Amino acid sequence: MTLYAVQKFLFELNRSDAAQVAYLADRHAVLEPYDLTDEEVEALVEPDIGKLFHLGVNGQILMHFAAFHQIEWQDYLQRMRDGIALHGPVREGVYAMTTGIDEVVAPVHQQPDQQDDERS
Amino acid sequence: MSLVFAGVCSHAPGITGRADQADPAVRDRFYDALGQMRDDLHASRPDAVVIIAAEHFANFFMNNMPSFAIGMADRYEGPIEDPGWLGIERRDVPGDADLSRRLISEVMRTSDVSYAEEWKFDHGIMVPLHFLTPDYDVPVIPVNVNCQGPPLTPLHRAWAFGGALRRACDAVPERIAVIGTGGISHWPATPDSGKINVDWDLDFMDRWCRNDRDALLDYDDLTVYADAGQGGFEIRTFITVAAAADGAKGTVHFCEPIPIFAVSCTVATYEL
């Protein structure tokens, strides 16, 4: 089933402290009730953010999963880019990518002294 | 009574969660605009704040997705996100189930709507509340318009819902503030996050300020997706507020892109 089941799992994980504890204790067991392919299970267990984005997981769901795993924002964006580079364009869903693989869309603001440091 | 305040603002999680990564010169002027909105909101002495948001799969999923939903509880909680990630501590937020019930009953007369006696607020509501009711001393009534899971709420239905909401506000004795939250053009939570179509945003806000129904409804999802990204689907919340304002004209107090926040950060109000 697939993308629906992947997203349903992430939706339920996001809402439930108990599900989060269970996921951290035994990732495979908590995924058992969901109708998932081996590829999807592997991506959810890893967690492989790039693969999940490639599979079509809505960014508004995936973002929470990345935050749950304490993945920092710029790292989250990079993992999605890496997923597209490795696996190809988003397969389905509404969250396709429209910019280039190496495009920097939202740079972190650099304080003037930081810029000086980088130049030196 | 009726509406005593109507406005819109951005709700992107970066506004609180990635504050330290933005250019402080622009960021602080945006925060100032939100501060002014907070002062104006409180000056209107609302008994409740109706927040029209585009929630992001925190409560509603594709197993049973309502086009419209209104909360009906005395207490909500949020944020559902990791508090450290969002930069907002988890807490209870006061509601008003009795007022909700009366508003919902009136809205139902002319618009379909789901009601929800539990609701976990996500950033779409928590970020605006963080700035607008920082003491959490005004009851909140959450409203959701489906901007996330296609097929989405048609724009003209969002307009009709806004009209129904206004009639409901007119029918209760309480003083009601209505605040719509969402991004205009944006590609949130994707590698494109930070891409912003400023011209599109300013054109949309011009239509919003004129409260021009035909112009506000003159979009379709395909062109919105192409020009404004999937985040642009959230114009439904702004359109709902426009209809609720019932012909009032608006002013944009702030609308500038802050890429690390992923949107043209926006604060705008109607002169009721």
Q: Do A95 and B189 touch (CB under 8 A)?
A: yes
Query: What is the pTM (predicted TM-score) of this model?
Result: 0.94
Mean pLDDT computed over B123-142: 98
Q: Which residues of A touch B22 (CB under 8 A)?
A: 109
Q: Do B61 and A73 touch (CB under 8 A)?
A: no
Decide if pLDDT at A117 tops 70: no
B154-188 pLDDT, tens digit each: 999 999 999 999 999 999 999 999 999 999 999 99
Mean pLDDT computed over B39-49: 98
Where do the domains of chain B lie, and which CATH numbers do they carry?
3-190+200-270 (3.40.830.10)
For residue A97, name the pLDDT band (cuts at 50, 70, 90): confident
Decide if pLDDT at A92 tops 90: no
Whether residue A20 lies within 8 A of chain B, CB to CB, comes out as: no
Structure tokens at B110: 């002319």
Nearest CA in chain B to A17: B80
pLDDT at residue A114 in the model: 57
What residues of chain B, 89 to 118, have a C-beta less than 8 Å from chain A?
Answer: none
Backbone φ and ψ of A66, nearest 5°? -65, -40
Q: Do B195 and A99 touch (CB under 8 A)?
A: yes
CA-to-CA distance for B208 and B8, rounded, in angstroms?
A: 10
The CATH number of residue A87's host domain is 1.10.700.10
Whether residue B254 lies within 8 A of chain A, CB to CB, comes out as: no
For residue A110, name the pLDDT band (cuts at 50, 70, 90): confident
Domain that holds residue A115: 3-119
CA-to-CA distance for A56 and A58, rounded, in angstroms?
A: 6
What residues of chain B, 125 to 184, have a C-beta less than 8 Å from chain A?
Answer: 148-150
Decide if pLDDT at A103 tops 90: no
pLDDT at residue B158 in the model: 98
B190-236 pLDDT, tens digit each: 999 999 999 999 999 999 999 999 999 999 999 999 999 999 999 99
pLDDT at residue A119 in the model: 44
Number of structural domains (chain A) is 1
| B123 contacts B81 by C-beta, under 8 angstroms | yes
State whether ipTM is beyond 0.90: yes
